[in-house]
Amino acid sequence: MNNTQTNTELRSNDAAAAQNLDLLDAVTPEQVSDAIKAAGAAVTTVEQDGVVRLHSASHGIGFQVLWGNPVTTTQYTDFTLSCPLHVQGGTLPEAVLASWHRTKRFARVAQHGDFVVLEMDVVVAGGVAPAYLAFAMRLWMQMMGEFFLHLRNYGPAAETRGDAANAEAGAAVQGVAAAA
């Protein structure tokens, strides 16, 4: 058998298989809403200024979908899942956020005044399988749970180490956990 012919046939079969897959290269609010529901959460849809906004919750804490690059007025190539949390008593010490970023890779945390925001980007540009959206939602909900656990566990661990700065961080984190 000729290797060139075999490789050409394989590439042709791969290309045909890829065309048969219904890949998404943009998503609608309805598709994202369905993926959130498939991950086990309820979704509230609100239309504001002609744009559909999605709100949901996981672990008893609300989050929202922030649309990224539009393809049309109802299709987007990416979006951000965002969970803003109010910090009681001010801001979190940088050590809390730095610790999260050192140990986690899918979701980021940013401080905005007296709010800390957990965010995760989801990109569909280039084509993804519909199952990827449901996976991304489950991953987001897992990241939310891990972040809340990170906040709850940060203070007590710091206090047992005897680090005064981290003990102060623990007190601020307890305020966020209570607010969450």
Provide the whole-model pTM.
Answer: 0.76
One-letter amino acid at 81 equals L
**According to the model, what pLDDT value does residue 179 have?**
44
**According to the model, what pLDDT value does residue 114 have?**
84
pLDDT under 50: residue ranges of the chain: 10, 15-16, 18, 156-175, 177-180
Phi, psi of 3 (to 5 degrees): -65, -35
The secondary structure element, H or E, covering residue 120 is strand 115-123
Question: What distances in angstroms separate CA 147 from CA 47, 49, 85, 116, 150, one per listed residue?
Answer: 29, 32, 11, 11, 5
Taking the CA atoms of the chain, what radius of gyration do you get in angstroms?
21
**According to the model, what pLDDT value does residue 93 have?**
82
**According to the model, what pLDDT value does residue 160 have?**
45
Placement of tokens 């623990």 in the chain: 170
**According to the model, what pLDDT value does residue 177 have?**
44
**According to the model, what pLDDT value does residue 171 have?**
45
Please, are residues 51 and 66 in contact by the beta-carbon 8 Å criterion? no
**According to the model, what pLDDT value does residue 9 have?**
59
